[in-house]
Structure 1
Amino acid sequence: MSSIGRRAVLRALAATVGTLSALQFPGAATRAAATETGPAGWTVQTMEAFADTLIPGERRFAGDLAIAGVVKGPGAVQAGVISTLNSPELPLAPVLPEIAALLDARAIAYAATHLILLPITSPAFVGLSFRDRTALVRGLFGPEDPDRAIWQVLSLLTGLAFDTAAHLDTRQAVTTGHPGLAWLRFPQPDADGLWRFADHSYGKALATTHPATTASGSPA
């Protein structure tokens, strides 16, 4: 990746971190779900393969190359990681092709040093076995890697896609059976669409409610 390209990616990552700190994930009810469109072709395959390395899932169809299929059940890809990465509230979509190209370049270098013959019909990272993908990704998070910040933000978004359905309204995600929330057994809302959690997590109330607390639960 050129220095100009790397600077653009780092700017987008910095803006993404700032956006994530301002947002409440999973999304509030007033936020529209992210569109399913995004960068096509090899970029999507590479991003899916990266996410599947972090949170594996089963293959979606015979011949699915991006997902290694090392486990049963849903993973980050089924949970909507591509929609999360392409969320209109994040500035990552324009730089995803460069990030994918960087990851594929790392895969080519890894394959060369490990005498691995990569297929020419799929992205380089996708062409690696799950074992080699894992070994490569492990190295990307090392303190000496110059692009570690890129992989850290991508891993954060991968986790958000699976654990919180970050690209969807929470009620929509739960009621439509989002695979990550279902796997985590995220509770259904009450009939009016709100969560109240009548049972205290410690089995008892830890403090009495202040008499000036408003009906919405806010301090007066």
Structure 2
Amino acid sequence: MTAPERRTILKALTASLAALTSDGLAAPTAAATKTAAAAAECWPVQTLLAFADTLIPGERRFPGDTVVAGAVTGPGAVQAGAADILASPQLPVAPLLPLIASLLDARAVTYAAIRLIWLPPLQPPFTGLSFHHRTALVKGLFGPDDPDRPIWQMLSLLIGLAFDTAGSDDTSQAVTRKHPGLTWLGFPSPDTDGRWRFTEFSYGRPLAALHPRTTPSGSPA
């Protein structure tokens, strides 16, 4: 991968993270939903979802699932909506998915060739690896000497947002709809007005007295 390509991908990933951590994704239009559904079936997204499943594994969605390795029981990043984030036409990273996936698949081909691992020809190379080998490959991607390490780090943050925060959805609505990641983590439900209030202090007592000039919003004087 060339330096300009690497910079372009990192800029898109950074912009996507910024969008998700600020206002999240707006409700998609019918056309956007159709586009995302089509993208979810393409090889690049399958490759990147397999990468997501390696980071936060889950159980297979159906018998013969080749994207999700089924290494554990319970939901993982794929069940929690990683595809909704990665393939969303609202995020600048979406057009670059083929390039990122091709980089990962190229690494998978090299990994398999060195170890004489046969890869099924009718599916993306990375998805053809077992969960054990996917994990070993991904571990190497985060090594300090890997030139593309920042790409995998930023991509993993996007995937983490899908599972840990339901990043593509409104949090209160995601809790109501039993989002797999939030439900698995035991994320609490909001009050009836949609806001979260915590009446019990985590240490059983307040850590400090409230400053008398603290504003109603909680900002310091």
**Superposition deviation, residue 22 in structure 1:** 7.2
- TM-score normalised according to structure 2 size: 0.88
Matches within 5 A, 1:1-220: 1=1, 3=2, 7-17=4-14, 20=17, 24=21, 27=23, 32-33=26-27, 37=36, 39=39, 40-87=41-88, 90-219=91-220
Query: What do residues 101-124 of structure 1 show as CA deviations (whole Å, max 9, x unaligned)?
Result: 111111111110000111111000
**Superposition deviation, residue 18 in structure 1:** 5.1
Question: Distance in 1 between the 2:145 and 2:213 partners?
Answer: 53
Question: Distance in 2 between the 1:156 and 1:181 partners?
Answer: 16
Contact 1:8/1:95 (<8 A) preserved: no
RMSD: 2.1
Question: Distance in 2 between the 1:178 and 1:22 partners?
Answer: 20
Counterpart residue type for residue 128 of structure 1: L
Counterpart residue type for residue 141 of structure 1: F
Identity %: 61
Contact 1:9/1:99 (<8 A) preserved: no
90-99 or 71-80: bigger deviation: 90-99
**Superposition deviation, residue 23 in structure 1:** 5.7
Unaligned runs of 5+ in 1: none
Query: What do residues 82-118 of structure 1 show as CA deviations (whole Å, max 9, x unaligned)?
Result: 1122345532111011110111111111110000111
Contact 1:9/1:95 (<8 A) preserved: no
16-25 or 108-117: bigger deviation: 16-25
Query: What do residues 23-66 of structure 1 show as CA deviations (whole Å, max 9, x unaligned)?
Result: 636x56xx524665163411111011000011100000111100
Counterpart residue type for residue 17 of structure 1: T
Contact 2:13/2:155 (<8 A) preserved: no
Question: Distance in 2 between the 1:58 and 1:158 partners?
Answer: 16
- Cα separation, partners in 2 of 1:163 and 1:33, compared to 1, 3 Å: farther
Question: Distance in 1 between the 2:45 and 2:64 partners?
Answer: 16
Question: Distance in 2 between the 1:22 and 1:134 partners?
Answer: 29
Query: What do residues 106-164 of structure 1 show as CA deviations (whole Å, max 9, x unaligned)?
Result: 11111100001111110000000111111111111111111111111111111111111
